[in-house]
Amino acid sequence: MRLSKTNPHPVAQFRAMVARRNVLAVILFRPSGEVMSGSGFVIRRTEEASIVVTSSHTLGIVSDEDVLRVRYPTFPTGVEEVAATILHQDPLLDVAILRVPGLTRLFPLRFAPQDTTVGESVVAVGYCDPDDLLDGLAFTRLPAISPGLVRPEGIIYVDTYDDVDLYYVMLNCICLPGMSGGPVLSRYGVVGMVDSGGLVVDDVNDVYAKAIDPDTILGVLKAYLTSTDPALDLSQSTMEEVLQMMA
């Protein structure tokens, strides 16, 4: 099977279509009237709340007066919007962890058990306003999907901040503003979180987008947990073990 942006792997496509039901619009309202927005997805659900990850830059610098909300689709029709709180925000690694009290109807997305590979078929999912069709804040009921492939650069190391390595997964998906914080899925699960805010065209007229690698997300989750309990030793903990500790 020859895979491309217009011919994604059917399992990756199916995963993305299912994931759309569990991807949220993340909205920050400032007293000045400014609105910051992006996407996020559930990584852990308890009986009382859901834990969501998103990009830090979708929130910017948050003050006590700002109001954070998340919006998600309900079925068979409609949307619901509820309050959220920030558990942890790392602007250098561009990852934020949110807690949404009372949100128990959405399902956590599963991370892929192994790193993605060059040429792998992936699908990015997130909320956006294609071509700026509407003025102001506008969301579709369900997030958009953008198929693509992992570029020849694959996974690249960028830097290390507070002992957490920043890795980007390089993609040729078209990721529009508003999709930042949304999941990137392969046929095996989530392989990244959309980080780039738009298109970048290189000298061969190709597009690329960046996604935060799951290893970096894991590092940020560990940093949050150890900040709440310095006695924790999570150096050998897996993503599954860390997620079970998130509440």
Both 113 and 214 in one domain: the answer is yes
Both 113 and 36 in one domain: the answer is no
Both 29 and 59 in one domain: the answer is yes
Predicted local distance difference test score (pLDDT) of residue 99: 97
Both 67 and 115 in one domain: the answer is no
Total domains present in the chain: 2
Token pair, residue 19, equals 């994931």
Q: What would the mean pLDDT of 5-17 be, rounded to a whole number?
A: 90
Both 45 and 125 in one domain: the answer is no
Handedness of CA 202, 134, 149, 184 (dihedral sign): positive
Predicted local distance difference test score (pLDDT) of residue 165: 97
Both 128 and 85 in one domain: the answer is no
- Is 242 inside a domain boundary? no
Predicted local distance difference test score (pLDDT) of residue 178: 86
What does the pLDDT look like over 215-246, one tens digit per residue? 999 999 999 999 999 999 999 999 999 999 99
Predicted local distance difference test score (pLDDT) of residue 175: 82
Predicted local distance difference test score (pLDDT) of residue 139: 65
Cα distances (Å, whole numbers) of residue 161 to 24, 56, 124:
28, 15, 26
Predicted local distance difference test score (pLDDT) of residue 142: 85
Both 77 and 128 in one domain: the answer is no
Indicate whether 1 pLDDT > 80: no
Predicted local distance difference test score (pLDDT) of residue 29: 93
Predicted local distance difference test score (pLDDT) of residue 208: 79
Both 95 and 184 in one domain: the answer is no
What does the pLDDT look like over 28-66, one tens digit per residue? 999 998 888 899 999 999 999 999 999 999 999 999 999
Predicted local distance difference test score (pLDDT) of residue 42: 97
Both 39 and 78 in one domain: the answer is yes
Both 30 and 122 in one domain: the answer is no
Helices marked H in the chain — which ranges? 10-19, 214-228, 239-245
Q: What is the 3-state secondary structure (H, E, C) of 119-181?
A: CCEEEEEECCCHHHCCCCCCCCCCCEEEEEEEEEEEEEEEEEECCEEEEEEEECCCCCCCCCC
Predicted local distance difference test score (pLDDT) of residue 176: 80
Torsion of CA 239, 195, 105, 188, to 10 degrees: -50
What does the pLDDT look like over 97-155, one tens digit per residue? 999 999 999 999 999 999 999 999 999 999 986 555 555 555 678 898 999 999 999 99
Residues 6 or more apart in contact with residue 72 via CB below 8 angstroms: 22, 23, 24, 25, 79, 80, 103, 106
Indicate whether 71 pLDDT > 90: yes
Both 127 and 199 in one domain: the answer is yes
- 147 strand-pairing partners: 123
Both 190 and 120 in one domain: the answer is yes
- Is 30 inside a domain boundary? yes
Indicate whether 201 pLDDT > 60: no
What pTM does this model have? 0.92
Supply the range of the domain harboring residue 145: 10-15+109-218
Indicate whether 181 pLDDT > 80: yes
The domain that holds 119 is classified in CATH as: 2.40.10.10
